[in-house]
Structure 1
Amino acid sequence: MAAEDYEIDVRPEIMLMEQVLEPLMSGALRIPKFQRPFVWRPEQMLDLFDSIERGYPIGSLLIWETYEKLASLDRIGDLEVPEARPGLPVSYVLDGHQRLSTLFATLRRPVDAPRSTEQRDWMWWPYRVLGDADEGANRYRHWRSSNPPPANYLPVRSVLRTRDFLSYARDLARDASAEMDVDRLTSEGEVVAQRIKSYKLAVVRLVGGELKDAVEVFSRVNSTGQPMRPAQMVSALTYQAGGRESLADRLDGLLEQVADTGFGEVSADAVFRAVLAVTGEENVQEARWDVLARRVKDSVQEAVDDTEEALIRAVAFLRETVRVPLARLVPYDAQLMLLTTFFHGCPNPTPSQRHELTRWFWTTSWSGYFAGANSTQVKQDLIEMKKFARDGGKFSLIDERPRPFPDRFDLRSARVRAFIIWELAAFPQRLTVTGEQISAVDVLARGATSAYRHVVNKAGMAAASSPANRLIMPTPPRVSLKRALLNLPDSIRADVLASHGIPPLALQRLAVGNDEGFIETRRATLAEREAAFMANFGVYASPDAIGEADIDTT
Structure 2
Amino acid sequence: MAKTFESGDVPLADLLNQARQGVLQLPDFQRGWVWDDGHIVSLLASISRSFPIGAVMTLETGNSEVRFRPRPLAGTPTATATTDPKYLLLDGQQRTTSLYLALRSGAPVRTQDTRKKEVERWYFADIDACIDPDTDRNEAILSLPADKRRVSSRGEVLLNASTTEAQVRAGKAGLFPLDIVLDQNATLDWQYAYLQAGQSMDQQLQIWKRFQEAVISPFLHYSVPRIALDQKTTKEAVCQVFEKVNTGGVELTVFELLTATFAAEDFRLRDDWEHRQATWADEPLLADLDATTFLQIVTLLWTRSRWEERTRERVRGDRVPAVSAKRREMLSLPLNGYQSWADAVTDTLQRVVRFLHGERIFHARDLPYSTQLVPLTAILTLLGENAFTPGPRAKLRQWYWCGVFGELYGGATDTRFANDLQDVLSWIQDDGEEPRTVRESQFQAERLLGLRTRNSAAYKGLYALVMKRGGRDFRTGETIDAKAYAADSIDIRHIFPQKWCAANGIDSGFANCIVNKTAIDGQTWGYIGASAPSKYLAALEGGVPVSPQDLDAIVTSHDIDPVALRQDDFGAVFDARYERLIRHIEDATGRQVNRGDGQGSPFSVDQSGAALARGIQALIEAGESKTVEFKSTGRKNLSTGLKDRAIEWAVIKTVAGFMNGHGGTLLVGVEDNGKVIGLEEDFTVFSKKNTDAWELWLTELLIQDLGKPATANVTVRFGTIENHTVARINVAPASEPVYTRRTKTGAKGAVFLVRLNNATHELDGPDASGYQQNRWFK
Q: So what's the TM-score if we normalise by structure 1?
A: 0.57
The reply on whether 1:228 has 2:252 as its aligned counterpart is yes
The reply on whether 1:343 has 2:400 as its aligned counterpart is no
Alignment correspondent of 2:473: 429
Segment of structure 1 superposing worse, 414-423 or 464-473: 464-473
Amino acid at match of 1:405: L
The reply on whether 1:278 has 2:301 as its aligned counterpart is yes
- Distance, in Å, in 1 between the alignment partners of 2:95 and 2:578 is 46
> What whole-Å deviation, never above 9, does each CA across 1:41-74 have from its counterpart, x for those lacking one?
xxxx99x99xx99x9xx99986657599954789
The reply on whether 1:482 has 2:530 as its aligned counterpart is yes
- Distance, in Å, in 2 between the alignment partners of 1:331 and 1:288 is 27
**8 Å contact from structure 2 (residues 375, 421) kept in 1:** yes
- Distance, in Å, in 2 between the alignment partners of 1:60 and 1:442 is 56
Aligned residue among 402, 423, 433 for 2:443: 402
Alignment correspondent of 1:357: 396
> What whole-Å deviation, never above 9, does each CA across 1:481-531 have from its counterpart, x for those lacking one?
32697667261489689569576655765xxxxxxx85x666545534433
Instruction: Please give the secondary structure, in 2, of the residue aligned with 1:489.
Output: helix
- Distance, in Å, in 2 between the alignment partners of 1:376 and 1:206 is 34
**Counterpart mapping for 1:391-470 below 5 A:** 391-392=430-431, 395-396=434-435, 397-398=438-439, 400-403=441-444, 404-425=447-468, 426-427=470-471, 429-431=473-475, 439-441=484-486, 455-456=498-499, 461-463=508-510, 465-467=512-514, 468=516
Alignment correspondent of 2:143: 161
Instruction: Please give the secondary structure, in 1, of the residue aligned with 2:458.
Output: helix
Deviation of 1:358 (Å): 1.1
- Distance, in Å, in 2 between the alignment partners of 1:450 and 1:13 is 63
Larger radius of gyration: 2
Instruction: Please give the secondary structure, in 1, of the residue aligned with 2:455.
Output: coil
- Distance, in Å, in 1 between the alignment partners of 2:57 and 2:518 is 46
410 and 70 in structure 1: CA distance in 2 versus 1, 3 angstrom threshold: same
Percent sequence identity over aligned pairs = 17
**Counterpart mapping for 1:222-301 below 5 A:** 222=244, 225-237=249-261, 239=262, 241-246=264-269, 249-263=271-285, 264-281=287-304, 282-289=322-329, 293=332, 296=334, 298-301=336-339
Instruction: Please give the secondary structure, in 1, of the residue aligned with 2:82.
Output: coil
The reply on whether 1:330 has 2:378 as its aligned counterpart is no
**Counterpart mapping for 1:30-429 below 5 A:** 32-34=27-29, 64=59, 70-71=68-69, 84-87=80-83, 89=85, 161-163=143-145, 170-171=152-153, 206=228, 209=231, 213=234, 216-220=237-241, 222=244, 225-237=249-261, 239=262, 241-246=264-269, 249-263=271-285, 264-281=287-304, 282-289=322-329, 293=332, 296=334, 298-319=336-357, 321-349=358-386, 350-373=389-412, 375-388=414-427, 390-392=429-431, 395-396=434-435, 397-398=438-439, 400-403=441-444, 404-425=447-468, 426-427=470-471, 429=473
**8 Å contact from structure 2 (residues 403, 409) kept in 1:** yes
Instruction: Please give the secondary structure, in 1, of the residue aligned with 2:289.
Output: coil
Alignment correspondent of 1:533: 584
29 and 265 in structure 1: CA distance in 2 versus 1, 3 angstrom threshold: farther
Amino acid at match of 2:456: S
Instruction: Please give the secondary structure, in 2, of the residue aligned with 1:161.
Output: strand
Structure 2 unaligned residues grouped into runs of 5+: 47-52, 98-107, 119-140, 157-223, 305-321, 604-778
280 and 163 in structure 1: CA distance in 2 versus 1, 3 angstrom threshold: closer
**8 Å contact from structure 1 (residues 74, 83) kept in 2:** no
Instruction: Please give the secondary structure, in 1, of the residue aligned with 2:280.
Output: helix
34 and 336 in structure 1: CA distance in 2 versus 1, 3 angstrom threshold: same
- Distance, in Å, in 1 between the alignment partners of 2:251 and 2:19 is 21
Deviation of 1:361 (Å): 0.9
> What whole-Å deviation, never above 9, does each CA across 1:224-243 have from its counterpart, x for those lacking one?
72322334445545x35243
Q: So what's the TM-score if we normalise by structure 2?
A: 0.43
Deviation of 1:219 (Å): 1.4
Q: Which has the higher contact order (CA 8 A, sep 6+)?
A: 1
- Distance, in Å, in 2 between the alignment partners of 1:253 and 1:164 is 40
173 and 74 in structure 1: CA distance in 2 versus 1, 3 angstrom threshold: same
21 and 75 in structure 1: CA distance in 2 versus 1, 3 angstrom threshold: closer
Amino acid at match of 1:533: H
**8 Å contact from structure 2 (residues 59, 87) kept in 1:** yes
**8 Å contact from structure 1 (residues 11, 205) kept in 2:** yes
244 and 30 in structure 1: CA distance in 2 versus 1, 3 angstrom threshold: same
- Distance, in Å, in 2 between the alignment partners of 1:521 and 1:27 is 77
85 and 307 in structure 1: CA distance in 2 versus 1, 3 angstrom threshold: closer
Deviation of 1:355 (Å): 1.5
Amino acid at match of 1:230: V
Deviation of 1:357 (Å): 0.7
479 and 387 in structure 1: CA distance in 2 versus 1, 3 angstrom threshold: closer
Amino acid at match of 1:323: R
Deviation of 1:336 (Å): 1.9
Amino acid at match of 1:216: A
**8 Å contact from structure 1 (residues 259, 266) kept in 2:** no
- Distance, in Å, in 2 between the alignment partners of 1:23 and 1:507 is 80
Segment of structure 1 superposing worse, 252-261 or 341-350: 252-261
Instruction: Please give the secondary structure, in 1, of the residue aligned with 2:585.
Output: helix
318 and 207 in structure 1: CA distance in 2 versus 1, 3 angstrom threshold: same
413 and 268 in structure 1: CA distance in 2 versus 1, 3 angstrom threshold: farther
Deviation of 1:352 (Å): 0.8
- Distance, in Å, in 1 between the alignment partners of 2:454 and 2:276 is 25
> What whole-Å deviation, never above 9, does each CA across 1:411-461 have from its counterpart, x for those lacking one?
3322122123224545463449xxxx994446779xx99999984497994
Structure 1 unaligned residues grouped into runs of 5+: 1-5, 102-106, 114-121, 127-158, 175-201, 510-516, 547-554
67 and 251 in structure 1: CA distance in 2 versus 1, 3 angstrom threshold: same
- Alignment size in residue pairs: 437
**8 Å contact from structure 2 (residues 475, 524) kept in 1:** no
Deviation of 1:283 (Å): 4.0
- Distance, in Å, in 1 between the alignment partners of 2:502 and 2:443 is 30
- Distance, in Å, in 1 between the alignment partners of 2:237 and 2:573 is 54
> What whole-Å deviation, never above 9, does each CA across 1:71-90 have from its counterpart, x for those lacking one?
478999xx999784433748
- Distance, in Å, in 1 between the alignment partners of 2:602 and 2:412 is 25
**8 Å contact from structure 1 (residues 277, 284) kept in 2:** yes
Deviation of 1:244 (Å): 2.4
353 and 474 in structure 1: CA distance in 2 versus 1, 3 angstrom threshold: closer
Deviation of 1:356 (Å): 1.3
Instruction: Please give the secondary structure, in 1, of the residue aligned with 2:283.
Output: helix
170 and 216 in structure 1: CA distance in 2 versus 1, 3 angstrom threshold: same
Deviation of 1:391 (Å): 2.5
Deviation of 1:256 (Å): 3.9
> What whole-Å deviation, never above 9, does each CA across 1:336-362 have from its counterpart, x for those lacking one?
222222223221213211111112111
- Distance, in Å, in 2 between the alignment partners of 1:545 and 1:93 is 62
**8 Å contact from structure 2 (residues 396, 424) kept in 1:** no
Deviation of 1:275 (Å): 1.0
Deviation of 1:215 (Å): 5.1
489 and 61 in structure 1: CA distance in 2 versus 1, 3 angstrom threshold: farther
455 and 392 in structure 1: CA distance in 2 versus 1, 3 angstrom threshold: same
